[in-house]
Structure 1
């Protein structure tokens, strides 16, 4: 408790110091005051003296009581369709868990392909890849669907933390975790922080990225990472048990226990497929992505896949609605008040003579490894995305390419530490991987991601016309 009080006081001091400091020449007082409140709120999201939602409500109240924003301006963020897209996607996540469709997909793939430890790793990756478009939470997807299945497999193969960890558990646990991180990067709705990137790109640079654009930009480097990372881990942590025909027997028994697909699973599968089709064809149908997701939610409610209590009980969705509505709106008003343009001019003058591509590479490396200081992908994006993207774009980098790259790297940096994002402690807590191993291998994997996403991702985005 005392430690939280100290962290809370530190956040307040950050805001007060900035508020009382005279703003730089060329920055409006309103912009500087808003920056002070925003910085204090972001510091609270990082240091976590209170929950992120609580910090956001305090920040929301502060901007109005101090007269920095009017009540109407302060609440504008809650009307944004992008935020409602992520809220609705959380409801799909609940549907996958409640109906058991996510587990069924995992066991079906395992029964078909799980006859070796490497294939099992790819099976978990494929399962996560299928579920990710409708599960914008690594914690819900990794902790609620993938981890329980993988952990059960480890026990079945008599591979427990300690002397038998190397039998298969160490490899499967770490591979499954990394697959969750990759899927989060590939799909716009695979992680809530991706939607923050989209909203900030709209507010700061006036350009919109669709669900389809993000997917097309990320699918090729994402598949490359999905194939390469488990193989790299297979070489780093070669499992003693190479062949795993028992996994197919386990999957068969689990599916037998589950029985035939229930009506709720079939209905969710139809809704899931329909939403994917509508998202992929949104440029032709003109239906906003958020309302595709809301349509899916309405169908789940009408068909009783979910009931209203399920919607009310999805705390993650309402938590995202609050903090995203507040924080993204603050960032938007920092741009409207001219602070972002001032910052771009200031930093751009220091980088004269460096090509925009060189600036992007430099910023990407720094942006990735600064995640050692964060325990949340969203806090990482809120604290760094606007500044880093502004500098890159001021140097001449294409807007959408820059936004997607920084959005992706805000996910892939989750390999670095055992506290990097919400799902990291779940997999680390299994006890199969020591902190030293996680940090050492995580650094290597983060470097591989940088090479893949810049070496394959940027050229691929050029080929498909993103820039």
Structure 2
């Protein structure tokens, strides 16, 4: 209780202090007061004296009462980004309910899993295939993909303890890297991606579609994605190399699932249609969020998933409420010209204008990664730190599209620095397979370095070649 109360005092005390301090020059009192409420919301998300939805509902209600404007309190709930993330969570639930995610993993394992390294790639591909429909790393990696490969490790006699390094430790350490590299590939593969893009719209006036994100990530991020299983295999090798038993284990898993059900067939078809819909929004003019909502509707209408199951998806509803709250208050800040003021302040405090753009982008990328050691939530980091990074880029007059793509994709790589910096980390670390905490830090550092180099050395020239900046 003492621990909780100091958090409560901090979350409410600091915003009250900000409120009663005079607004800085260039900023209206209203904008300053909105910022005070936003600061309290972000502190609540970081320190969690109460669940995130409770914090954001309180922040929205305070804003609505103080400013006598329901739009400040509720505008985020009409935000299409919040609805996109919410719909993607529900789609991920369908993969769990129908067992389609498990079937994909077993099929890959049966066809390709002949060695430890090949199994690592099967696990990575399983995560990647499901990732466009599951914005929760915990649900995707911790709930769908990893349990299958953990069962494989157990079947091969690798359990936490003396036999962990036979293959279980390798698969556990690798899956953390897989989860976050998949996170970078699609907007809908990580809920925090949507938060970053919302700030890009508010601060840099840049919109990135689902198809554009994937096109930008296709070369640099896929390169990192396919590098990681091999790199982890070299740095933290399993004792088992050839594994002929994997085919029999996968076959048994498929037999237990039985023939492909009509629900799985419906889901597979609708999923392919959703990917096609997201990839062709520039042609069809159908918004990405509408595609996602339509996908969920079709799954419900055809019985691929039950409403009772979606209604009970705590993660989806929790994320929707607090993301909508954050995005709504942030949009109000944008309307009040707060971010323009912040960029102006950054330009005066930091001599960024006139510097080499590549140097500034490199510094901003490093700043998007290193502070992650201080945060236990990717989304909390995005909501609190990215407005500052984007304001710095605006002050330095750096190309907004290059900034948006670079910093959006780097968010995922920073999330692997330690086992506590993303929600799926504690799940994997808690299995006991990787007892040496230094392994998590070392592998996370390698991914962060590899990802940063890929984005700067390959990503920027690739985007330039495409004419994106």
Is the TM value for this pair above 0.5?
Answer: yes
Compute the TM-score of the two structures, normalised by the length of structure 2.
Answer: 0.97
1:437 Cα offset (Å):
2.2
Find the aligned partners of 1:147 and 1:283 in 2 and give their Cα distance: 35
Cross-structure match for 1:26: 26
Taking the aligned partners of 1:149 and 1:398, their CA distance within structure 2 comes to 44
**Residue 145 of structure 1: aligned partner:** 144
Cα distance in 1 between the residues matched to 2:9 and 2:149: 42
Q: CA deviation at 1:444?
A: 2.7
TM-aligned CA deviation for residue 4 of structure 1: 1.5
In the TM superposition, 1:266-415 aligns within 5 A as: 266-349=265-348, 350-351=350-351, 352-415=353-416
Aligned position for 1:70: 69
The answer to whether the Cα contact below 8 Å between 1:197 and 1:407 also exists between their aligned partners in 2 is yes
3-state SS of the aligned residue for 1:446?
A: helix
The DSSP-based 3-state class of the residue aligned with 1:75 is helix
RMSD, aligned α-carbons: 1.3
- In the other structure, the counterpart of 1:48 is 48
What is the TM-score when the length of structure 1 is the normalising length?
0.97
What is the rounded CA distance, in whole Å, between the counterparts of 1:427 and 1:453 in structure 2? 27
Q: How far apart, in 1, do the equivalents of 2:101 and 2:176 lie? A: 16
Q: Distance in 1 between matches of 2:204 and 2:364?
A: 18
Superposed displacement of residue 205, structure 1: 2.8
1:419 aligns to 2:424 (yes or no): no
Alignment-derived partner of residue 247 in structure 1: 246
Contact kept, 8 Å, 2:90 with 2:310, in 1: the verdict is: yes
- Residue 301 of structure 1 contacts residue 307 of structure 1 at CA under 8 Å; is this kept in 2? yes
Hey, what does 1:258 align to over in structure 2? 257
CA deviation vs aligned residue, 1:156-206 (integer Å, no higher than 9, x gap): 121122222221111111112211111111101001111112222222233
Task: Tell me the number of residue pairs that the alignment of Structure 1 and Structure 2 aligns.
Answer: 466
Q: Which deviates more, 274-283 or 429-438?
A: 429-438
Q: Following the alignment from structure 2 to structure 1, what is the Cα–Cα distance between the partners of residues 153 and 2? A: 39
User: 1:339 & 1:223 partners in 2: Cα distance?
Assistant: 36
- TM-aligned CA distance change 1:353 to 1:398, over 3 Å: closer
Unmatched tracts of structure 1, length 5 or more: none
Mapped contact 2:354–2:396 kept (Cα < 8 A): no
Deviation at 1:103, TM superposition (A): 0.3
**What 5-or-longer segments of structure 2 have no aligned partner?**
none
Kept in 2, the 8 Å contact 1:355–1:395? The answer is no
Between the aligned partners of 1:201 and 1:95, the Cα distance in structure 2 is 30
Aligned runs of 1:100-249 on 2, under 5 Å?
100-249=99-248
Distance 2:394 2:205 in 1: 12
State the Cα distance separating 1:426 from its structure 2 match.
Answer: 0.6
Matches of 1:367 and 1:202, distance apart in 2: 18
> Quick check: 181-190 or 314-323, which moved more?
314-323
The question of whether the paired residues in 1 share the 8 Å contact of 2:94 and 2:267 is answered with: yes
Shift of 1:239: 1.1
Once residues 308 and 165 of structure 1 are traced to their aligned partners in structure 2, the CA distance between those partners, rounded to angstroms, is 40
